[in-house]
Amino acid sequence: MTVRLVTWNINSIRLRIDNVRRLVAEWAPDILCFQETKTPDSLFPRDVFATLGYRHMLVHGMKGYNGVAILSRAPFRSSGIRAWCERADCRHAIVELPGGVELHNIYVPAGGDVPDPDANPKFAHKLQFLDEITGWFASERQDGRPMIAVGDLNIAPLETDVWSHKQLLSVVSHTPVEVARLGRLREAGGFVDAVRHFVPPELRLYTWWSYRARDWSASDRGRRLDHVWVTPPLVGALGEARVYRDSRGWDKASDHVPVMLVIDS
């Protein structure tokens, strides 16, 4: 059995629902994981997804900000949410898939513009979020269960995950303190970077291009902020990974593009 899973920071699910339809038509994913849905649960377009065949939904959103959702063609065994930093800001959804695989959809705080936790509360929040979720994986998920973690983690860890390692070393998303914390999170869950399993780390790879760029494709000043990780029991089943770069050029595009992982079980 082959499972296609897509993660996408959609930057408003209602505003970009036609782009979701296009993605489904072109890639036919079995599971969709969204971040930044930016809508309360009561206004989430459930009918649209049911019509598209995604009748099993975990929706965890809020008005205007953040929000995560997991939608599936197959039923979940269980589902739940987690809150971090004593905030109910809709950043972590969890489901158990058929076969016992635990799927985490995570939206890490962006962190603002100044990489100093003393001067910038948003950056302090980002680091605290990473510390708390890392501690949870280390204490609660060391039993060898198969897991997938996806989402906009808002950190580009490798030099080839950004357009200029030297120029972005002091820019939020690529600072050494963030990269180190992301590494600790990955290690705490025992995760393997499933996309870099297929795309060698010496090759440049981006999933986000700023709206500020007049011509995002020509300047190509991107960052790889969106990730798919799996635990070792799933590495042997990895079939393919894709980054849908062309979708950044669609009408009403998100500044992030979808990332797909194919698992053959």
In the numeric block, which tokens belong to residue 85? 């930093």
At 220-244, the pLDDT tens digits run: 999 999 999 999 999 999 999 999 9
**What are residue 107's DSSP bridge partners?**
152
Tell me the pairing of strands 68-72 and 56-60. Answer: antiparallel
In which band, very low, low, confident or very high, does the pLDDT at 175 lie, cut at 50, 70 and 90? very high
pLDDT on residue 211: 96
**Residue 166: CB partners within 8 Å, gap ≥ 6?**
none
Is 84 buried (19+), middle (13-18) or exposed (0-12) by CB count in 10 A?
buried
At 66-116, the pLDDT tens digits run: 999 999 999 999 999 999 999 999 999 999 999 999 999 999 999 999 999
**Residue 94: CB partners within 8 Å, gap ≥ 6?**
79, 80, 81, 82, 102, 103, 104, 105
At 22-37, the pLDDT tens digits run: 999 999 999 999 999 9
Amino acid at 13: I
Structural domains for the chain: 2-264 (3.60.10.10)
At 127-168, the pLDDT tens digits run: 999 999 999 999 999 999 999 999 999 999 999 999 999 999
Amino acid at 262: V
Dihedral, 237, 154, 88, 101 alpha carbons, nearest 10 = 0
Report H helices in 141-229. 165-168, 176-189, 216-219
Is 166 within 8 Å of 218 (Cβ atoms)? no
